[in-house]
Amino acid sequence: MADRTAFRTCPLCEANCGLEIELTTKPDGSEEVKRIRGDQADVFSAGFICPKGSTLKHLHEDPDWLRAPHVKRDGEFVAVTWDEAFETIAAGLAPILESGDRNAVGLYLGNPNVHSLDPMIYNRALIKSIGTANLFSASTVDQRPKEISSAMLFGSVTIPVPDLDRTDYLLMLGANPVASNGSLCTAPDFPGRLSRIQERGGRVIVVDPRRSETAETADEHLAIRPNGDAWFLAALANVISNEGLADLGHLADHVSGLDEVLAFITPVTPEAVAERVGLDAPTIRRIAAELAAAPSAAVYGRIGTTCQEFGTLSSVLVDVVNLLTGNLDSIGGAMFSTGAVGQPSTKGKPGVGRGFRMGGTTSRVSGTRSSFGEFPVTVMPEEIETAGEGQIRAMVTVGGNPASSTPNSTRMNAAFESLEFMVCVDPYINETTRHADVILPPPTALQKPHFDLAFVNLSVRNVANYSEAIFPLEESQMAEGEILRRLTSVFLGEAASGPAAEAVVEAIDDASAAAVADGAVRNEFGPVAGVEGSELLEVSSEYEGADRMLDMMLRSGPFGSGLNGDGLSLAKLKENPHGVDLGALEEHRIPGILRTKSGTIELINDDLRPEFERLAATIEEEVPEMVLVGRRHLRSNNSWMHNVRVLTKGRNRCTLQIHPDDADRLGIEDGSAAKVTSRVGEVIIDCERTDVVRPGVVSIPHGFGQNTEGVQLRVASEYRGVNTNLLTDEYLRDPISGNIALNGVPVTVAPA
Ligand code: SF4
């Protein structure tokens, strides 16, 4: 019998499943998790969870999860007090900060930040306090092309998601939601939603070089060549346009640049691209006709379309095809979420804004352009290695594991090792943090309140959930928001320890809250239009920290209660532990949500023109004989869940998948070791002969290879795997975004 049941949203991936957590009380009065299962009453996930969801217990109890800050002394990490840790940071950074060169500090924000409320709120102050141009994030590992393409087309990072629950036809490229549960598309029980498309007579088509777990369940699998997506999508658009199948519906008067795009893709016919994409022309023509004829259809592109050399262009073309078939912003098509903390629509008036332009700054060494104030992670090593003003001499990482998750790990690790000082906010001693001088561990997920600020804007249904912290902090721990504010205090040159530091932490909190209040009331269309920022701040002041900011965001959001209405507020979410359902996605949000300069969907610009030209010019370019693609497993989540034994037990999943034809040609036996070599490195890996990959393609999953010196992850270190980023190439990028091309890496394979 459980003594208490708590409900919370799983923060491990983008699906946001509701969890029911049974707790028992121990003889000493403390509580422990007895069982975690899906919350049947959750308004969105209705009881669904994947095998990772129940492991929040294991993560919470993981003995390798640091419970106190650690400082490296004589090459060994030792636990210290928080004051000691921040004093060490202040002393270590002093020579660098005193030089006055703020770019000498690099900041990397990893993927876990978007799954946690405090960093989403307080990282802004940290970024500002460091004042560096050398800001990097995990976004340029896997999704920056989609963010940029949306910003180009719609004026802000407003990413359409497939209306899974109402579509009649789903064309998915480079996505494997049966394993990942979706990305840039929040949909708990994604596999169930796919089945229901089929149950109601619809079709699911998967385009992927691998017959992935999702492809196995689909009505049709098209085994495209890696990196063929842009030609495939352009050929679809070409057919839809030239065959008179295009119908833009309500968006016909809200688009600019379409004629130019269609002119660019005139030579990109199914016949011209068939060899390059590895799909025959009649199939491409048939898919185009099916998309146009379906009562509703959605094209959805993910990792395979973004992590490649035409990442941004492929992402644009996904939306072009949705637009041409009348499925953009329409029921059953690709639609826009109305996030509980998102920007309210202008209610039908054309939204005109500042639009988006690439760049602003260029990186010091290679002149790579920034986007959204960040440089691509691909330039991080050269910025650390290259001497001169602005050279990164110290790094701060918050979450993430860039030594493992970014390309050419050998170079990235050597760069980190050469730093004068490194601080990591991270719970583990992993491939990245082993290089640190100080590690500041945040509490576990069960010790933090949770609201998903990011993914409510990428959701296939409008919902809002708030989760209370389940366990209190241990004496040696510090709340994540306080860690980030103490770090901010150091960069502001304020006190690093003692009551003076605590006063600064309070002041940063108040300044952050005031900024949120001012931003909220500046929106002329929201429920707090006409209200003073101080009034909003006052009404939310019953809460502290990130909760205070969240309450203001909810009140001022599209479903908000304003100062005293009955819409959303934090109190309302607390009364509804299974979440609040805000309804199906709303159609025809365009033009109200546009923020482009022209007030139209802008399909073309000076960055896209050369890419369209390159697309047409390279149709017949020779493809490498063998290329590497990634993959994902249901029981894996990047590199940081491999310390959970229930997820890693069983057969070795870090294998090289190779087609039997290639294996025969190369003399490779099933289960034998092969040497895979790329421009940047080589790995020895167990082989798995399988026809799930097409000939000419090999696949290695990411996030493995944690059996590295200095890593203190007892379970993960035992795992027989290799790091695929020893092979990926930091110079293989999407030219617009600088995002790494993790898929389509040329390699050679030989028996080891
Ligand atoms: S799919 Fe799994 S990991 Fe993702 S939110 Fe749901 S339970 Fe958590």
pLDDT of res. 585: 97
Residue 409 lies in a domain: yes
| Domain final position from 19, 42, 61 | 61
**Same domain (yes/no): 51, 84:** no
Residue 541 lies in a domain: no
Nearest in space to 182 (alpha carbons), one of 632, 579, 585, 583: 632
Whole-angstrom distance, CA of residue 638 vs CA of residue 640: 6
**Residue of the CA atom closest to atom 4 of ligand 1:** 13
pLDDT of res. 616: 97
pLDDT of res. 49: 97
**Same domain (yes/no): 198, 274:** yes
If you search the block for the tokens 């950074």, which residue do you land on? 93
Instruction: Give pLDDT tens digits for 114-146.
Output: 999 999 999 999 999 999 999 999 999 999 999
Task: Report the separation in Å between the CA atom of 543 and the middle of ligand 1, taken as the mean of its atom positions.
Answer: 28
Nearest in space to 432 (alpha carbons), one of 164, 138, 176: 138
Nearest in space to 311 (alpha carbons), one of 524, 510, 146, 488: 146
pLDDT of res. 359: 77
Best of 44, 181, 632 for a ligand 1 pocket test (most atoms within 8 Å of beta carbon): 181
If you search the block for the tokens 């017959």, which residue do you land on? 211
Task: Report the separation in Å between the CA atom of 165 and the middle of ligand 1, taken as the mean of its atom positions.
Answer: 19
* Residue 44: CATH number of its domain: 2.20.25.90
CA atoms within a 13 Å half-sphere pointing along the CA-CB vector of 412: 27
pLDDT of res. 375: 97
Instruction: Give pLDDT tens digits for 305-351.
Output: 999 999 999 999 999 999 999 999 999 999 999 999 976 666 656 66
Q: Is 53 in the pocket of ligand 1 (CB under 6 A)?
A: yes
Whole-angstrom distance, CA of residue 188 vs CA of residue 14: 8
130 close to 93: Cβ distance less than 8 angstroms: no
**Residue of the CA atom closest to atom 6 of ligand 1:** 17
* Residue 236: CATH number of its domain: 3.40.228.10
Q: Is 145 in the pocket of ligand 1 (CB under 6 A)?
A: no
Instruction: Give pLDDT tens digits for 247-283.
Output: 999 999 999 999 999 999 999 999 999 999 999 999 9
Q: How many domains does the chain have?
A: 4
Best of 36, 49, 176 for a ligand 1 pocket test (most atoms within 8 Å of beta carbon): 49
Task: Report the separation in Å between the CA atom of 45 and the middle of ligand 1, taken as the mean of its atom positions.
Answer: 10
**Same domain (yes/no): 35, 120:** no
Task: Report the separation in Å between the CA atom of 735 and the middle of ligand 1, taken as the mean of its atom positions.
Answer: 33
**Same domain (yes/no): 317, 271:** yes
State the pairing for strand pair 697-699/627-629.
parallel
**Same domain (yes/no): 173, 286:** yes
Domain span at 448:
70-138+369-521+570-584
pLDDT of res. 351: 67
Q: Is 15 in the pocket of ligand 1 (CB under 6 A)?
A: yes
Residue 530 lies in a domain: no
Residue 120 lies in a domain: yes
**Same domain (yes/no): 165, 257:** yes
Angle at 423 between CA 98 and CA 67, to 5 degrees: 140
Atom of ligand 1 nearest to the CA of 13: 4
**Same domain (yes/no): 578, 664:** no
**Same domain (yes/no): 633, 723:** yes
pLDDT of res. 348: 57
**Same domain (yes/no): 605, 683:** no
As a dihedral over the C-alpha atoms of residue 367, residue 373, residue 378, residue 384, rounded to 10 degrees, the angle is: 80
Q: Is 285 in the pocket of ligand 1 (CB under 6 A)?
A: no
Task: Report the separation in Å between the CA atom of 138 and the middle of ligand 1, taken as the mean of its atom positions.
Answer: 20
Q: Is 181 in the pocket of ligand 1 (CB under 6 A)?
A: yes
Q: Is 641 in the pocket of ligand 1 (CB under 6 A)?
A: no
**Residue of the CA atom closest to atom 2 of ligand 1:** 50
**Same domain (yes/no): 482, 412:** yes
Q: Is 13 in the pocket of ligand 1 (CB under 6 A)?
A: yes
Q: Is 17 in the pocket of ligand 1 (CB under 6 A)?
A: yes
Residue 394 lies in a domain: yes
Task: Report the separation in Å between the CA atom of 334 and the middle of ligand 1, taken as the mean of its atom positions.
Answer: 23
Atom of ligand 1 nearest to the CA of 9: 5
291 close to 325: Cβ distance less than 8 angstroms: yes
Residue 551 lies in a domain: no
Q: Please tell me whether residue 111 adopts helix, strand or coil conformation.
A: helix
Could you state, in chain order, the average pLDDT of each consecutive group of 10 residues for the chain (752 residues)? 92 96 95 97 98 95 98 97 98 96 97 94 96 96 96 94 98 96 95 98 98 97 97 98 97 97 98 97 98 98 95 98 98 96 67 81 96 96 97 97 96 98 97 98 97 95 97 97 97 94 95 92 82 94 96 95 93 98 96 92 97 97 95 86 90 95 97 97 97 97 91 91 96 95 96 95
**Same domain (yes/no): 633, 735:** yes
Best of 17, 450, 638, 647 for a ligand 1 pocket test (most atoms within 8 Å of beta carbon): 17
pLDDT of res. 344: 65
Residue 560 lies in a domain: no
pTM score, whole prediction: 0.96
Q: Which amino acid is at 741?
A: A
**Same domain (yes/no): 503, 610:** no
| Domain final position from 35, 61, 87 | 61
Atom of ligand 1 nearest to the CA of 15: 5
Task: Report the separation in Å between the CA atom of 434 and the middle of ligand 1, taken as the mean of its atom positions.
Answer: 28
Q: Is 19 in the pocket of ligand 1 (CB under 6 A)?
A: no
Best of 8, 13, 632 for a ligand 1 pocket test (most atoms within 8 Å of beta carbon): 13
Write a three-state SS string for 600-657: CEECCCCCHHHHHHHHHHCCCCCCCCCEEECCCCCCCCCCCCCCCHHHHCCCCCCCEE
| Domain final position from 26, 44, 61 | 61
* Residue 112: CATH number of its domain: 3.40.50.740
Residue 562 lies in a domain: no
